[in-house]
Amino acid sequence: MNQSVIKALSILDLFIEDKELSLQEIARKADIPKPTAYRLLSTLEHSGILYKLKENPHDSRYGLGLKLLEYGNLVSERLELRDIALPFMEKFAEEINEVVHLVIAYQQEATYIEKVNSKRALSLHTKIGRSTPLYVGSGPKMLLAFLPEQEQEQILNQGELVTLTNQKIDKIALKQELKKIRKNQFAISIGEQDADTTGVSFPIFNHEGKVIAALAVSGLSSRFMGERLENIKDSGTTFANEMSKQLGYRY
C-alpha cells in the first residue's frame, strides 16, 4: 500500500467536519510530522484538490478545492446517465436483438460504462470498463466528433492511427468523417474493433447541449445492411433522443 496516498486521504478526511484547517491543525489531527503534512498539502494544492488561504506568514489555512467538486459532479452525472440510459438500452436491445453499449469519453479515450447483451447465441463480448482509442469504432468516433477542435487535433496527432483490426486510418478522411458525424448525428464503423462486425452510434446530449455519451449498437456486419440498417438507425435515434430529453436536453 502506498503510504503517501493513505496519508493524503487521511488529510482529506479531516475536511468532512472542518471547512478550513491550518497546517499545524492538519499535522496534529492527522498525526503526521509538519514537514510531511506540508509536502502532501503542497501536492494537493497544486492538483486543485485543496486551496490555500494565507492568513499570516507563519501558517496557512487550507480548504477543499474545486477539483473535488468537479469529480463529484462527474460521478453524479455518470451515475445519473447510467440510471436513465439502462431502461432505454434494454428496450433497444430487445427490439433489434443486438448488443447495445453506453460509451463516454474519459482522458482522451472511449470507455464503455454500460452494456445490454442480445439473445443471440453468438454475440460480441465487450466488457464494461473497457477503453479504446477515440478514433476507433462508431461510439468513440461519435464522441470525438463533438470534442472541441483543439482536443481533436491533440488526439489525431499522436502518430500513426490504426484500428483494433490493424487497418491504417487516413487522418484526412477521418477528419471529413467527423464533420459528417457531427452534422448528421450518426456514426458507423465496419470492422474497426472486431473483424466482420459493424457498429452504429447516436449522440446523447445533456441539459447544456453537450454530447456526454454515445448510444452504440454492434453485431455481425451481415445483419447491418439495407432496410434493417435503416430500421436500426431510426430506432437508435429515437432512443438516444429520449435519453437526452430525460437528461434535460431540449431540441
**DSSP H or E stretch at residue 181:** helix 171-184
Amino acid at the residue 81: L
Q: Are strands 59-64 and 99-106 parallel, antiparallel or unpaired?
A: unpaired
> What is the per-residue pLDDT across 216-228, written as a single tens digit (0 to 9) for each?
999 999 999 999 9
pTM of the entire predicted model: 0.71
Q: Which residue has better confidence, 16 or 237? A: 237
Strand partners, 217: 100, 200
Task: Label residue 205 exposed, middle or buried (CB < 10 Å: 0-12, 13-18, 19+).
Answer: buried
The number of beta carbons lying within 10 Å of the beta carbon of residue 9 is: 11
Q: What is the pLDDT of residue 60?
A: 78
Give the three-class secondary structure for 164. Answer: coil
C-alpha cell read off for 40:
502532501
For residue 129, CA distances in Å to 36, 92, 175, 249 come to 35, 21, 27, 26
Strands ordered across the beta sheet of 20-22: 20-22, 59-64, 50-56
Contact 200, 233 (CB under 8 A): yes
Q: Pseudo-torsion of CA 182, 188, 193, 198, nearest 10°? A: 170
Stretch among 12-26, 66-80, 100-114, 203-217 having the lowest mean pLDDT? 66-80
Confidence at 76, pLDDT banded by 50, 70, 90: low
Half-sphere exposure for 232 (CA within 13 Å, toward CB): 27
Arithmetic mean of pLDDT over the chain: 88
> What is the per-residue pLDDT across 148-199, written as a single tens digit (0 to 9) for each?
999 999 999 988 899 988 999 999 999 999 999 999 999 999 999 988 999 9
User: Could you give the angle at the alpha carbon of 119 between the alpha carbons of 115 and 123, nearest 5°?
Assistant: 65
Per DSSP, 93 falls in state H
Q: Is the pLDDT of residue 247 over 60?
A: yes
Confidence at 9, pLDDT banded by 50, 70, 90: confident
Closest alpha carbon to 209 in 240, 178, 244, 184: 244
Q: What is the mean pLDDT of residues 17-44?
A: 88
